[in-house]
Amino acid sequence: MAVHPEVAEKVPVLMDTPATAIKPPSPPLRADLLIYLALLALGLAAWWISEQGWFTPWSRTGYWLGVAGGVSMLLLFTYPLRKRWRLTYSWGPAKVWFAAHMVLGILGPWLILLHSTFQIASTNAAVALFSMLIVALSGVVGRFLYVRLHADLRGEKASLASLRHSMNHAHQTADTQLASMPTVRHALNDFETKVLDSAPGSSPGHLWRLCVLPIHKQRLTRLCKLEAKQATKAMARQLEWTPKQALAHFRSCSEQIEAHGAAVQRVAQFQTFERLFSLWHVAHVPFVWIMVFCAIFHVVAVHAY
């Protein structure tokens, strides 16, 4: 494989460039997986504790677990108030309130699960419990959509223009980094053109971008990395690189391939996630109010009878 002299001169400079400094943000799939595993572990822990028979919903411990869970659920409403009530705008950054909202959204349902010991003693308790579980699961879905529309939970909503700017930057960087690999550059640019030229307005288009596009992107990046690996080996032989230099160059190229593919995917999916988030909000709010009314009725019934 022939390497143009100008490209050969640029390669050492590119190898010293910190590629992570120019990588655009990508969906935090690993963080999502860890959160889901943690939620599963908490659910299993609550079930195990309930099986030990240490308390019942009517015991003193069970009662105060219910109170703590109920207070935690009430405190969830401080975040919407912080966003919408002008008096609270100066009460600290919104990202702190949102983080507290997420923690309480996990802690409250978990404490109430402990309180119930996975037993349902009345119709009202059943409705309150299941509406709470639906709200909690809906909150997990909402967080999944939120972090794909905002800048990593900082509360600042991303825009299509800013994402396109990041994608263009990733495109230019990849073109420079992969100057000696025209096949890889052509594949990435062709992927970008095909994905972004297709209109996502229809429901099938949104579904394709949500479910099929990530698979296409993963396949493309894998093939591009294989091509980059072969090209790097050829360049290493011609330029007499050490194994360490060749590995550094390949890793840098791989990061740019991943960055470009992730940037294109995020731009393409942005409108889809916007639509899903608006639909989620319409469905989430009614269940919240059902949960609140059932919880109030449950508390009144417990203390009255």
pLDDT tens-digit series, residues 201-245: 667 777 888 888 889 999 999 999 999 999 999 889 888 889 899
CA distance 207 to 212: 8
> Is the distance from CB of 169 to CB of 24 less than 8 angstroms?
yes
Lowest mean pLDDT among 73-82, 176-185, 199-208, 231-240: 199-208
- Residue 115 and residue 104: Cα distance in Å, rounded? 16
Lowest-pLDDT range, 10-19, 128-137, 167-176, 277-286?
10-19
CB-facing half-sphere around the CA of 279: CA atoms within 13 A: 8
Whole-angstrom distance, CA of residue 301 vs CA of residue 84: 33
The H or E element containing residue 90 is: none
Share of the chain above pLDDT 70, in %: 83
Chain Cα centroid distance, residue 287: 23
In total, the chain counts a number of residues equal to 305
Q: Residue 153 has what pLDDT?
A: 46
> Which of these ranges, 95-109, 140-154, 266-280, has the smallest mean pLDDT?
140-154
Higher pLDDT residue, 188 or 204? 188
User: What global pTM score does this model have?
Assistant: 0.63
Q: Report the C-alpha gap between 111 and 76 in whole angstroms.
A: 14
User: Any residues with CB less than 8 A from the CB of 61 and at least 6 apart, and which?
Assistant: 54, 55
Task: Find the mean pLDDT for residues 276-305.
Answer: 80
Q: Identify residue 79 by its one-letter amino acid code.
A: Y
Spatial contact of 249 and 11, defined as CB atoms under 8 Å apart: yes
Tell me if 88 sits within 8 A of 82, measured CB to CB: yes
> How many angstroms separate the CA atoms of 197 and 66, rounded?
53
Q: What is the mean pLDDT of residues 104-122?
A: 84
Q: According to the model, what pLDDT value does residue 28 have?
A: 55
Mean pLDDT of 174-188: 84
Give the pLDDT score at 120: 76
- Please determine, for residue 277, whether its predicted confidence score (pLDDT) is greater than 80: yes
Task: Render pLDDT for 242-265 as a digit per residue (tens, 0 to 9).
Answer: 989 999 999 989 988 988 888 888
pLDDT at 157 over 60: no
Band of pLDDT at residue 8, cut at 50, 70 and 90: very low
Residue for token digits 């879905």? 141
**Residue 233 · residue 253 · CB < 8 Å:** no
- pLDDT at residue 199, as a whole number: 61
Is pLDDT above 50 for 276?
A: yes
Can you give the pLDDT at residue 12?
43
The whole-number average pLDDT for the span 38-65 is 87
For CA atoms 165, 229, 222, 33, give the dihedral sign. Answer: negative
